[in-house]
Amino acid sequence: MKITMINGSPKPGENNSGTLIKYLTSLINENETDVYNISKLKLSDMQFEEMKKSSALVFAFPLYVDGIPSHLLRFLMRLERMDVFDKNTMVYCIVNNGFFEGKQNHIAVSQMKNWCIAAGLTWGQAVGIGAGEMLPFLKNIPFGYGPNKNTGKAINEIANNIKTLKSGDDLFVSPNWPRFLWKMQGTRIWNMRAKKNGLRETDLYN
């Protein structure tokens, strides 16, 4: 069975959507899996042709302003216009966000469900993961353990549904970590990044 994974993070280099795709791929490795990073790649007609042969499309992307990043939206509109997928093609999503609660991803998930109806495809399942920016700091902790326990469990569940092309309830998870601590750590991470890019803390509020 062919599975296409779309990395919808606009970040060049490493990104959290990519980390989640890597783990998911390791769980469904008996299938043929193509991964496309749409921020780097302008997909060729041949790649779109390949995509049409997929039994499942998996979109992994970050939450941007409570919704779908704009370049992913453009990509979805292109896919929808192509009108070439079998209506039984399953759609799955993994959305990660910066705030602690994975539930924050519910609007983006609804947007994907609406797109799925518009494109005439079959909805599978979504996983919404909170505190995605924690993932680069947890590289040495396997999914399913410690702060990655809930995330690992949710990705395992969606992997099982993808493998059997089943639908499932949408899952929204937050890390197994104190929320107040993440709030402090998250603020520090964004401030450090701002500084690296020549911005002051106050500039972030603009």
Ligand X SMILES: Cc1cc2nc3c(=O)[nH]c(=O)nc-3n(C[C@H](O)[C@H](O)[C@H](O)COP(=O)(O)O)c2cc1C
In terms of CB distance, is 122 or 186 closer to ligand X? 186
CA gap 189, 194 in Å, rounded? 9
Q: Which CB sits closer to ligand X, 89 or 105?
A: 105
The per-residue b/e assignment along 9-30, b for 16 or more CB within 10 angstroms, e otherwise, is bbeeeebbbbbbbebbbebbee
Q: Is there binding between residue 63 and ligand X (CB under 6 A)? A: yes
According to the binding rule CB under 6 A, does residue 151 interact with ligand X?
no
The verdict on 15 binding ligand X (CB under 6 A) reads yes
Select the residue interacting with ligand X from 1, 2, 11, 35 (CB under 6 A): 11
Least Å distance, CB 134 to ligand X, is 9
127 binds ligand X (CB under 6 A): no
Task: Check: CB of residue 127 under 8 Å from CB of residue 173.
Answer: yes
- Contact status: 39 vs ligand X (CB under 6 A): no
Q: Are 69 and 10 in contact (CB under 8 A)?
A: yes
Residue 133 lies near ligand X (rule: CB under 6 A) = yes
Smallest gap from residue 72 Cβ to ligand X (A) = 11
Supply the minimum distance, in Å, between the C-beta of residue 22 and ligand X. Answer: 12
The angle, 0 to 180 degrees and rounded to 10, between the axes of the packed helices 149-163 and 16-27 is: 50
**CB under 8 Å to 131, separation ≥6 — which residues?**
97, 98, 99, 100, 174, 175, 177, 182, 186
**Closer of 89 and 150 to ligand X (Cβ):** 150
Residue of the chain from 46, 65, 169, 198 that contacts ligand X (CB under 6 A): 65
Nearest to 99 by CA among 58, 146, 73, 66: 66
Which helix (DSSP H) or strand (DSSP E) does residue 93 occupy? strand 90-96
Q: How far is the CB of 198 from ligand X (least distance, A)?
A: 17
**Does position 96 bind ligand X by CB under 6 A?**
yes
